Amino acid sequence: MKISVLTLFPEMFGALNSSIVGRAVAGGVLEIDVVDIRKYSKDKHFKCDDYPFGGGAGMVMTPQPIYDAVQCVDPERKCRRIYMSPKGRRFDDSVVRELAIDTRDILILCGHYEGVDQRVLDLCIDEEISIGDYVLTGGELAAMVVIDAVSRFVPGVLGSSQSNRDESISSGRLEYPQYTRPAEFMGLKVPEILLSGHHANVEKWRNEEAERLTKRLRPDLSESIK
């Protein structure tokens, strides 16, 4: 899968060079193309924002640089084009899976300032996605959340032992607690059952813990699977 991100702050995406996503990109399993919108500005100072018509606070991103960047990245409109915005459809596990199984590559536009000229959204964008009911200073962190979550479903990004655990949230249950060595830390012991080597009992304990945690921390999830 290829994900193109259009942004005024390409340096923010350095975070994706680390960890699992970074390894997937280095291994060629996933392609992430970070595109600097400013390079497409026809303004002599590469300006990409201006005052809003009608007045009001803040600046609005101008349509020309975004339009040209989108045309360059996806000239035949083959990508699923997403604008990160608090007005968008709420991002959750079902949206992650939907994006992951879509055969189209993804183009993500990140806004900044007070937003983006509506005309370029009308012309270029298929859908808006929000990562929650709060307003970030820009779409970049939200885009990274989407990229990270979708990447986990791209074949080859996770090892097989990790991908087995994809079910946790979508099955409507939180994950059971995990422990590793040492068996005792600061006087706290790992639950005895996990040291027993009895796989069926371990499985039973994990199921019960997952159930208990879900009821306590996310009763809404508990209810929704009844």
163-to-88, 98, 158, 159, 196 alpha-carbon distances in Å: 28, 17, 6, 6, 25
In the set 6, 60, 79, 84, which binds ligand ADE (CB under 6 A)?
Answer: 84
By CB under 6 A, residue 7 contacts ligand ADE: no
Q: Which of 96, 109, 85 is nearest to 4 (CA)?
A: 109
Among 10, 22, 52, 86, binds ligand ADE (CB under 6 A): 86
Instruction: Please pick, from the candidates 4, 7, 62, 85, the single residue that binds ligand ADE as defined by CB under 6 A.
Output: 85
**Per-position x/- string for 137-176, each x denoting binding to ligand ADE as judged by CB under 6 A, each - no binding:** --x--x----------------------------------
- 105-134 residues in contact with ligand ADE (CB under 6 A) are 130-132, 134
Alpha helices in the chain (DSSP H): 19-26, 63-73, 93-101, 118-124, 140-151, 160-163, 167-170, 199-217, 219-224
Q: Kindly state the number of chain residues that form the binding site for ligand ADE, as judged by CB under 6 A.
A: 11
Here the tokens at position 19 are 């960890």
DSSP code, position 13: G
Nearer of residues 65 and 115 to ligand ADE, judged by Cβ:
115
**Applying CB under 6 A, which residues contact ligand ADE?**
84-86, 130-132, 134-136, 139, 142
